Amino acid sequence: MTMNKRISDKIYYIGVNDRATAKFEAMWPIPMGVSYNSYLVVGSEKAAIIDGVEVSHALSQIAYIRETLGDRQPDYLVINHMEPDHSGSIALLLHAFPGLQIVGNNQTLAMVKGYYGVADHTIAIKDGEELSLGDVTLQFFLTPLVHWPETMMTLLKEEKTLFTGDAFGCFGALNGAVVDTEMDAEPYFPEMVRYYSSIVGKYGRFVQKAIARLAGAEFDTVCPTHGPVWREHLSRVVDLYDKLSRYEPLDEGATIVYGSMYGNTERMAEAVAEGLAEAGVRNISMHNASVSDLSYILADVFRHRHLVLAAPTYSDGLFPPMATVVDAIAARSIPNRRVALVGSHTWAPRAVKAMTAAFESTPTEQSVEPITIKHSPDADALASARALAHTLVGK
Ligand SMILES: Cc1cc2nc3c(=O)[nH]c(=O)nc-3n(C[C@H](O)[C@H](O)[C@H](O)COP(=O)(O)O)c2cc1C
Ligand SMILES: [Fe+2]
Ligand SMILES: [Fe+2]
Tell me, what's the pLDDT at 141? 98
Beta-carbon contacts of 213 under 8 Å, excluding residues fewer than 6 positions away, are 141, 142, 143
- Nearest in space to 210 (alpha carbons), one of 261, 252, 168: 168
Domains and CATH numbers, the chain: 3-245 (3.60.15.10), 251-392 (3.40.50.360)
**DSSP H stretches of helix in the chain:** 58-69, 84-87, 90-96, 106-116, 188-195, 204-213, 234-245, 264-278, 294-303, 320-331, 351-358, 379-392
Residue 290 alpha carbon to ligand 3 centre in Å: 27
- Number of the ligand 1 atom closest to the C-alpha atom of 374: 21
Amino acid at 94: L
| DSSP SS3 for 280 | coil
Distance of CA 385 to the CA centre of its chain: 33
- Nearest in space to 87 (alpha carbons), one of 70, 119, 111, 123: 111
Distance CA 164, CA 380 (A): 54
| Whether residue 344 has its Cβ less than 6 Å from ligand 1 | yes
Task: Centre a 10 Å sphere on the Cβ of residue 203 and count the other Cβ atoms it contains.
Answer: 22
Which of 314, 319, 371, 375 best tests ligand 1's pocket when mutated (most atoms within 8 Å of CB)?
314
Residues 358 and 387 sit within 8 Å (Cβ to Cβ)? no
Per residue of the chain (395 residues), give pLDDT as tens: 566 799 999 999 999 999 999 999 999 999 999 999 999 999 999 999 999 999 999 999 999 999 999 999 999 999 999 999 999 999 999 999 999 999 999 999 999 999 999 999 999 999 999 999 999 999 999 999 999 999 999 999 999 999 999 999 999 999 999 999 999 999 999 999 999 999 999 999 999 999 999 998 999 999 999 999 999 999 999 999 999 999 999 999 999 999 999 999 999 999 999 999 999 999 999 999 999 999 999 999 999 999 999 999 999 999 999 999 999 999 999 999 999 999 999 999 999 999 999 999 999 999 999 999 999 999 999 999 999 999 999 97
Tell me, what's the pLDDT at 74? 98
pLDDT in tens, 133-191: 999 999 999 999 999 999 999 999 999 999 999 999 999 999 999 999 999 999 999 99
Rg (CA), the chain: 24
Tell me, what's the pLDDT at 267? 98
Residue 83 alpha carbon to ligand 2 centre in Å: 5
Residue 361 alpha carbon to ligand 3 centre in Å: 29
